[in-house]
Structure 1
Amino acid sequence: MKKTLVLLLSSSAYFLCLGQEKAIDTVYIFDNQMNKVKLFHKVTPITPQDAEKNSTNLSELLRFQSSIYIKENGRGAVSSPSFRGTSAPQTAFVWNGININSIFLGQGDINNIPLFGYDEIGVKAGGGSVIYGSGAIGGSIHLNNNLDFNKGFKASLYSEGGSFGTFNNFGTASYSNEKLSFKVSGNHSISQNDYKVEEKNYINRNGKYFNSTFNVGISYKIARHQTISWQSQFFDSTQNYPIFVENGNRTKYETQSTRSLLSWDITKSKFSNSLKAAYTEENFQYFGNYNAPKTSGSTGKNYIFKNDFNYFIVPELNVNIITEFQVNKGEGYQPDLQGVKTEGIGNVSRNVGSLAGLIRYFPTKDLRFEAGVKKDFVENISSPLLYSFSGKWSPVQWYNLGVNVSRNFRFPTFNDLYWNPGGNPNLKPERSYQMDMDHEFKWGNIKLALSPYYLYISDNIVWLPTAHGYWSPVNINKVKSYGLESQITFDKQLKEHHFRFNIGYTLAKSINQETKKQMMYVPLHKVFGNFDYQYSFLKLYVQGVFNGLTYTTTDEKREDAIDSYFVMNTGVSATILKKICLRF
């Protein structure tokens, strides 16, 4: 059992513990597409206040507060998502509108993506490659920063201490006037992570991890309708790999990432244009011996240019043109078995361009449609024509209906194509067709959402052993994934008593069409729930997650499966002196 004590401090009337929202006159949103996406698709927001309930890492947050299944190789270690029965590379991580999945693995290692420093985390179910590119097949996870104007100075401090030598500190400060907005934040987390499992006579030796994050954002109004903005994030992390015997070989893994985004925005009543230039870099090093030089690693650099033009022909009809160009550069290396020569991917580069067009039609306030088409131009790879169609209708006050159909894709990664030995330069992109329906019901303070879905994925990329003793990727699997996402929420204020709860259930049937077996690391059932109660200065929360039986082999071998389990967290907090919050 992990025990945690948290202290929160704030310098303004807006403080983290109570989570009261104030009206904001002007806000610069780095992901300018997100407000449009929310008009047609279900996006589950996670506020900074909710994120503090699962302050360990992003994996823990998504596990307890979303329908996503998280496969984690130990606390703070390698972690990957399964969204609607898909694999980890088929979930897109989007930072301020920019896809940040690794160019080597094609996925986001969740524990190497910071948890703190965002103004909103959003979970979008369903395909979104027309807007957010390769990998947005099962869904996408959005990490967004905003900058508001004319709000003066604000600052807050979050400090946490817990068992197993765990300490977590996060601080943020911001200042804004009518023309300038500036925000800076930093986070440092460390844990010895040396927990014991007495029933198994196990000690998590060499499990220490620590990471640091620094975020800075600035926005300046150069004219009445024009804004120049910059957002950057710097992340550094070290994770030791646990050993199972006291004298085992101690290894570790280090990673550093840099993300920087410059944006020039023009916003008028009939049109808007957002021109973005971004640079992202990822570095990984593996140490086969804790104190020895690194034994393998990689460096990836991306240069991204993106323009988003939006025009209202008439108030009911909107046209959106999105163009993007990327240069991806990578180098990966590791010594061969004799330690003589270097293997890996060498120095490789790839150009990627895309052109997308969307039309949005709002015939009435209760009815809206969106249609989109996109063509990607990936060097040496033939990419499919992508499309999407969405509609949302509110026939009565208590019921909303949404329909989404799309074709999505994921192109091969650098490791898939160039790793030596084993890379396969003849791989085709993964292609997906998906359809879902959103049914939303509302009765007073109760809301119920039901979302049946269906996905068909062809040319799935999988790594298989070869006769030469190494593994190699091939296009082999066809996967059908179908199921149901559902959630019920309740929010009620009774004088000084505030009650809020939500319970979500996910059914995910994901079948490999060759073996007719459930895909690995896709539980058939998942249930998650959160309950909050507030009275005056006191606050209580309880949350839990149930994961059903999860197979870890392609043949559904029962003895190797992860048994179903249930985990529950609880916490209580008190606000004292208006700007200090204590939580346990």
Structure 2
Amino acid sequence: MLCSSYGGFLFGQEKAIDTIYIFDSQMNKAKLFHPVRTISPRDIEKNSTNLSELLRFQPSIYIKENGRGAVSSPSFRGTTAQQTAFVWNGININSSFLGQGDVNNIPLFGYDQIGIKAGGGSVVYGSGAIGGSIHLNNILDFNKGFKGSVYSEAASFDTYNNFAQASFSNEKLSVKVSGSYFTSQNDYKVPEFVVGSTGYSNINGKYYNTSVNIGVSYKIVPQQTISWQNQIFDASQHYPIFEQNGNKTKYNAQTLRSLISWDIQKANLSNSLKAAYTEDNFQYFSDLNLPKTSGAEGKNYIFKNDFNYFITPKININVIGEFQVNKGEGYQSGIGVISRNVGSLAGLVRYFATDQLRFEAGIKKDFVEGISSPLLYSFSGKWNAVPWYHAGINFSRNFRFPSFNDLYWQPGGNLNLLPETSTNIDMDHEFMFGDFKITLSPYYMDIKNLINWLPTPNGYWAPFNTSRAESYGLESQITWSKDFGKHHFKFDTGYTYSKSINKNTQMQMIYVPIHKAVGNVEYGYSFLKIYAQGLFNGLTYTTTDEKRATAIDPYFLLNTGISASLFKKYTLGFKVNNITNTVYQTVSYYPMPKRNYSVYATINF
């Protein structure tokens, strides 16, 4: 979308406003200074089990999953799940209770693109954007007429996955509706993984989820658009047990997200006013046949305004104001009816010195009821030194304020907690050699006031600001794509080196693999496509003392698949996951499936 004039992201977007509407208006600006890895709907078909499986094959993210489809959490660059921000169409959707996103209780389908951004981003995206952020974005097209698609998949372990989408647009109105339904008995077995005296069986591991997405955008006048995006999600997860006669439990979750946006787009000015309502409810059942044991209801009212103005063709100012009311009520958790007001004001200045050199500086102050929040800042620069080498640098201060559980859970909640803060610095070196692109990104983070839950003398656990950590390492990526007539080749690989050290003990933080590598190779000829996908995960400690006996051993996964497109409307595909039959786990005691299969079909009309 960039054009040759300074600040081209705004002018380029204004030129294309008759074509698409993007709900997260900050993403185009972020891409001017930060590498953002974009996952398309076609990429999702390779890892369609759940969002955890998709993110697992991204080089900068580690996924902890308590068995396939169960509780799952992400982490960037050796940080924690609470230091990862999930952003839905520009709105931070981390749970007010947990302070994180439960990956397997977020729909996989229904987005037009998923963005992966490593590094701090609290100035724009708020609490939790310390290690990185995951962006779930919807796009509405104009002047595209009617389009639709249906995706259906059947897989091992009585797994069925269905997704349908339809859209219509003319020059003033755009409507898109989609829905998904996923169900799995998830009864896989891993005989080599011994639990007690027998091999592992994923007993009581079934789960299902349903989601509905509705998006509407209407042009009031050519430069003003009113848009609405809505998502409804309902899910149930049965938690695995180790014995057939064990106590069977489950967890139900319901989510509602609704966002209205009024956007003004002119040649040198834009403004996006958003009003959002999000609701997260969950219930835990300690016995499938009894009423719920515990639960919570969370409701968030969010108002956000993003004002963008070019003072001159080289100087751009961006002011972002946000106000939230976070409400919650717990059930059998000691948490009563609670409410918290959160406000913030951020300002950014971008200077486009030349077509090859640009800078961005930002500052932000959050106002969190009952909590003293630090002043946040960021600085980024991008220099396209020569056609084959581009360099970037990013420096920022980021934070996470305590969650409802951290503050109010009884017994144990601690009202004296301080926010976690971090100082981040990273560099990006991009080398282009013909069709090859190589990216090297060293980084360093210093994190203070880490919140950890620890046992107390009174017999219960409580959160404390206990330690300080530093995380440093290197992210790298190589991409190559080439067409030879009807032959298409694509190669994409990434490697991450992560050291995350508790400064009190000088030990590696738990569930942070020092080495991780992923790779993807595709070959296409005419209507046929074949791919292979690999993942290497290095030694991963599960205790704070780096005990080797309890660490997760290194493992390598290999997936492969083939698909054929017929008459440009129909696609048939077959996939084999974990083709090498590797026994592996991402969380201790919960092995993942061995070799498994799926067949799928897509119809476009």
Pick the TM interval, shorter chain: over 0.9
Equivalent residue for 1:465, pick from 455, 458, 464: 455
1:246 corresponds to 2:239:
no
Residue 438 of structure 2 aligns with which residue? 448
Residue 360 of structure 1 aligns with which residue? 350
1:415 corresponds to 2:415:
no
RMSD of Structure 2 on Structure 1 (CA) = 0.9
Supply the distance in 1 between the matched residues of 2:522 and 2:355 (Cα, whole angstroms).
33
Supply the distance in 2 between the matched residues of 1:119 and 1:467 (Cα, whole angstroms).
51
Supply the distance in 2 between the matched residues of 1:290 and 1:151 (Cα, whole angstroms).
48
1:229 corresponds to 2:216:
no
Supply the distance in 1 between the matched residues of 2:558 and 2:181 (Cα, whole angstroms).
26
1:512 corresponds to 2:505:
no
Q: Secondary structure at the match of 2:56?
A: helix
Counterpart contact for 1:66–1:123, Cα < 8 Å: no
1:187 corresponds to 2:180:
yes
TM-aligned CA deviation for residue 24 of structure 1: 9.2
1:404 corresponds to 2:394:
yes
Residue 379 of structure 1 aligns with which residue? 369
Q: Secondary structure at the match of 1:193?
A: coil
Counterpart contact for 2:489–2:522, Cα < 8 Å: yes
Counterpart contact for 2:518–2:534, Cα < 8 Å: yes
TM-aligned CA deviation for residue 25 of structure 1: 5.1
Aligned pairs for 1:27-66 (under 5 A) are 27-66=20-59
Aligned pairs for 1:198-347 (under 5 A) are 198-200=191-193, 201-334=199-332, 343-347=333-337
Equivalent residue for 2:555, pick from 565, 579, 583: 565
Residue 481 of structure 1 aligns with which residue? 471
Residue 17 of structure 1 aligns with which residue? none
Counterpart contact for 1:528–1:543, Cα < 8 Å: yes
Moved more, 552-561 or 516-525: 552-561
Supply the distance in 1 between the matched residues of 2:182 and 2:59 (Cα, whole angstroms).
23
Residue 497 of structure 1 aligns with which residue? 487
Residue 173 of structure 1 aligns with which residue? 166
Q: Secondary structure at the match of 1:153?
A: strand
Supply the distance in 2 between the matched residues of 1:348 and 1:511 (Cα, whole angstroms).
35
Structure 1: give runs of 5+ residues left out of the alignment: 1-22, 335-342
Counterpart contact for 2:59–2:516, Cα < 8 Å: no
TM-aligned CA deviation for residue 357 of structure 1: 0.3
Amino acid corresponding to residue 562 of structure 1 in structure 2:
I
TM-aligned CA deviation for residue 196 of structure 1: 1.3
TM-aligned CA deviation for residue 333 of structure 1: 2.3
TM-aligned CA deviation for residue 145 of structure 1: 0.2
TM-aligned CA deviation for residue 382 of structure 1: 0.4
Amino acid corresponding to residue 351 of structure 1 in structure 2:
N
Equivalent residue for 2:420, pick from 425, 430, 436: 430
Cα distance per residue 1:328-380 (max 9 Å; x no partner): 0011122xxxxxxxx42111100000000000010111111000000000001
Cα distance per residue 1:137-163 (max 9 Å; x no partner): 001000000001010000000000011
Supply the distance in 1 between the matched residues of 2:160 and 2:167 (Cα, whole angstroms).
24
Cα distance per residue 1:261-298 (max 9 Å; x no partner): 00000110010110000000001100000111000001
Supply the distance in 2 between the matched residues of 1:172 and 1:578 (Cα, whole angstroms).
17
Structure 2: give runs of 5+ residues left out of the alignment: 1-15, 194-198, 575-605
Supply the distance in 2 between the matched residues of 1:195 and 1:407 (Cα, whole angstroms).
44
Counterpart contact for 1:278–1:305, Cα < 8 Å: yes
Counterpart contact for 2:61–2:76, Cα < 8 Å: yes
Supply the distance in 1 between the matched residues of 2:93 and 2:414 (Cα, whole angstroms).
23
Supply the distance in 2 between the matched residues of 1:424 and 1:101 (Cα, whole angstroms).
20
1:546 corresponds to 2:536:
yes
Equivalent residue for 1:159, pick from 139, 149, 152: 152
Q: Secondary structure at the match of 2:234?
A: strand
Cα distance per residue 1:498-536 (max 9 Å; x no partner): 000111000000000001100010000000011111000
Amino acid corresponding to residue 81 of structure 1 in structure 2:
P
| Residues 186, 199 of structure 1: alpha-carbon distance in 2 compared, 3 angstrom cutoff | same
Residue 359 of structure 2 aligns with which residue? 369
Counterpart contact for 2:59–2:496, Cα < 8 Å: no
Residue 340 of structure 1 aligns with which residue? none
Counterpart contact for 2:120–2:131, Cα < 8 Å: yes
Total equivalences in the alignment: 554
Supply the distance in 1 between the matched residues of 2:469 and 2:192 (Cα, whole angstroms).
39
Counterpart contact for 1:549–1:563, Cα < 8 Å: yes
Cα distance per residue 1:538-583 (max 9 Å; x no partner): 0001101111111111111111111111111100000112200000
TM-aligned CA deviation for residue 124 of structure 1: 0.4
Supply the distance in 2 between the matched residues of 1:479 and 1:186 (Cα, whole angstroms).
42
Supply the distance in 1 between the matched residues of 2:380 and 2:316 (Cα, whole angstroms).
14
TM-aligned CA deviation for residue 224 of structure 1: 1.7
Counterpart contact for 1:81–1:87, Cα < 8 Å: yes
Q: Secondary structure at the match of 1:345?
A: coil
**TM-score in terms of structure 2 length:** 0.91
Residue 130 of structure 2 aligns with which residue? 137
Equivalent residue for 1:577, pick from 550, 567, 589: 567
Supply the distance in 2 between the matched residues of 1:261 and 1:252 (Cα, whole angstroms).
30
Counterpart contact for 1:147–1:183, Cα < 8 Å: yes
Equivalent residue for 2:108, pick from 108, 111, 115: 115
Q: Secondary structure at the match of 2:463?
A: strand
Equivalent residue for 2:141, pick from 142, 145, 148: 148
Cα distance per residue 1:11-62 (max 9 Å; x no partner): xxxxxxxxxxxx9951110001110010011100001100111000111001
Q: Secondary structure at the match of 2:440?
A: strand
Cα distance per residue 1:479-506 (max 9 Å; x no partner): 0000000011110111111000111000
Taking only the aligned residue pairs, the percentage that are identical comes to: 71
TM-aligned CA deviation for residue 174 of structure 1: 0.1
Cα distance per residue 1:373-404 (max 9 Å; x no partner): 00000001000000000000011000000000
Residue 68 of structure 1 aligns with which residue? 61
